[in-house]
């Protein structure tokens, strides 16, 4: 992917916002709604397929868009420097701390949702030093981490399984003391969103944000790159699982008989209960492998390019997607709100016959509330509080 030197005045803005970006955020939010309160993909048909697609890939899109947001916060199209740059870094650092705290607070509600916010905040910290880099360099870093980090994570997981060193680390970890979790070991290695293997997503989002997205040619390249990555990731996993002797049987054994035949794209394979190197050939959305990172990144890039292209070319599309964009513009409030609603309403374990109406209810109510709120206010409730929390960064000289 490559950018261009100048940004044209033709850019899809609404009240100073990128509409395509907000639409993509809205899709990511509703995808996570589907995972958390929707029916199981085993219901079959087109609905089952869409529900399966949402698994893992919605969170990936959310993380990639976090990288895009990081570049907006620190300067786009040109990175901020001097005092302005230091203040921007301060705001991001405060934002990270708030997200980590909020993530653990939501986890304490004990819903079945694997809350992404703590990892999201820590990802901001690790990606922040890269904010001045250009798209090409960021793309290389994203590719390198996608190749290197999954084997590193696998070796760390094997080491934890085979020894008690992690218990010693957790016992000395202040974050573990305060939160009652496994602290940084969980955030980096054992959690659902290990920072080691989710860093490529946020760096990719930073790379895309450095491009001239007013250019249809650039958006076309982003879409083609995304499609190629999806084929490379999922197709490469399919080939490996079929060509490497014993791969499917080893994966099935590691997951207590999970569906290894669909492990190249589907979460139906399940989580491994024991470690095998063959797992690195899988591309299931939450498998933390190179193939899964590459494939999921590809899907996210295609979605992002389509959202920008559609909203840029058609006023009708912008009007039709206004409710979705409204949700995306207050994504933090929508994400936190749906977890609190799951906890308050007790809708965490519904039969499929009830889950679909509940999911539709969550989506409709969220869109209506988001539309009503954004008609009157520039920021969502939690977005306003986050903005206020980062105000002290203005004191940085």
pLDDT tens-digit series, residues 59-74: 999 999 999 999 999 9
Alpha carbons 355 and 340: distance in angstroms, whole number: 17
* 336 inside domain: yes
Question: What's the confidence (pLDDT) of residue 147?
Answer: 98
Alpha carbons 312 and 383: distance in angstroms, whole number: 25
Residues 295-348 pLDDT 10s: 999 999 999 999 999 999 889 999 999 999 999 999 999 999 999 999 999 887
Residues 37-58 pLDDT 10s: 999 887 777 888 999 999 999 9
* 133 inside domain: yes
**pTM assigned to the model:** 0.93
**pLDDT band at residue 369 under the 50/70/90 scheme:** very high
Alpha carbons 176 and 154: distance in angstroms, whole number: 22
Token duo for residue 228: 């190629």
pLDDT at 3 over 50: no
pLDDT at 15 over 70: no
Residues 127-139 pLDDT 10s: 999 999 999 999 9
Sign of the CA dihedral with 280 first, then 284, 289, and 290 last: positive
pLDDT at 2 over 50: no
Phi and psi angles of residue 13, each rounded to the nearest 5 degrees, phi first:
-120, 150
**pLDDT band at residue 17 under the 50/70/90 scheme:** low
Phi and psi angles of residue 131, each rounded to the nearest 5 degrees, phi first:
-65, -20
How many structural domains is the chain composed of?
Answer: 1
| Higher pLDDT among residues 207 and 77, named by residue | 207
* 252 inside domain: yes
Mean pLDDT of 206-219: 95
Q: Which of 125, 150, 114 is nearest to 294 (CA)?
A: 150
* 288 inside domain: yes
Q: Exposure pattern of 103-126 as b/e (b: 16+ CB <10 Å)?
A: bbebbeeebebebbbbbbbbbbbb
- Alpha-carbon torsion, ordered 113, 117, 118, 122, to 10 deg: 140
* Domain containing residue 263: 13-395
* Alpha-carbon 65 to chain mean position: 7
* 102 inside domain: yes
Phi and psi angles of residue 247, each rounded to the nearest 5 degrees, phi first:
-65, -50
* 2 inside domain: no
* 144 inside domain: yes
Residue 353: CB atoms within 10 A of its CB come to: 9
* 191 inside domain: yes
* Alpha-carbon 328 to chain mean position: 13
């Amino acid at each position: 992917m490559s950018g261009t030197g100048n940004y044209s005045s033709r850019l899809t803005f609404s009240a100073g916002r990128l509409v395509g970006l907000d639409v993509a955020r809205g899709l990511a939010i509703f995808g996570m709604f589907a995972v958390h309160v929707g029916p199981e993909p085993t219901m079959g048909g087109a609905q089952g397929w869409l529900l399966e697609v949402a698994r893992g890939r919605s969170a990936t899109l959310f993380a990639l868009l976090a990288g895009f947001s990081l570049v907006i916060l620190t300067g786009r199209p040109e990175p901020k420097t001097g005092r302005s740059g230091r203040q921007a870094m301060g705001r991001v650092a405060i934002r990270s701390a708030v997200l980590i705290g909020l993530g653990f607070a939501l986890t304490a509600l004990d819903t079945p949702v694997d809350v992404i916010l703590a990892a999201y905040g820590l990802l901001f910290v690790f990606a922040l030093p890269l904010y001045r880099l250009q798209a090409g360099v960021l793309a290389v870093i994203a590719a390198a981490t996608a190749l290197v980090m999954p084997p590193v994570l696998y070796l760390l997981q094997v080491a934890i399984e085979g020894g008690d060193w992690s218990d010693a680390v957790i016992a000395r970890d202040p974050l573990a003391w305060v939160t009652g979790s496994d602290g940084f070991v969980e955030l980096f290695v054992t959690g659902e969103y290990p920072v080691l293997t989710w860093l490529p997503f946020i760096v990719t989002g930073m790379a895309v944000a450095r491009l001239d997205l007013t250019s249809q040619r650039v958006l076309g390249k982003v879409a083609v790159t995304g499609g190629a990555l999806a084929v490379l990731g999922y197709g490469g996993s399919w080939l490996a699982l079929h060509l490497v002797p014993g791969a499917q049987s080893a994966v099935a054994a590691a997951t207590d008989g999970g569906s290894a035949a669909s492990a190249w794209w589907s979460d139906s394979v399940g989580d491994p209960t024991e470690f095998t190197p063959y797992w690195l050939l899988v591309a299931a959305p939450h498998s933390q492998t190179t193939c899964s990172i590459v494939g999921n990144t590809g899907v996210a890039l295609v979605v992002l390019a389509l959202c920008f292209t559609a909203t840029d070319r058609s006023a009708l599309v912008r009007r039709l997607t206004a409710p979705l964009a409204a949700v995306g513009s207050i994504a933090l409030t929508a994400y936190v709100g749906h977890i609190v609603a799951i906890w308050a309403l007790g809708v965490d374990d519904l039969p499929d016959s009830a889950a679909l109406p509940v999911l539709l209810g969550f989506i409709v109510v969220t869109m209506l509330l988001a539309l009503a709120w954004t008609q009157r206010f520039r920021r969502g409730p939690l977005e306003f509080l986050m903005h206020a929390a980062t105000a002290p960064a203005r004191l940085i000289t």
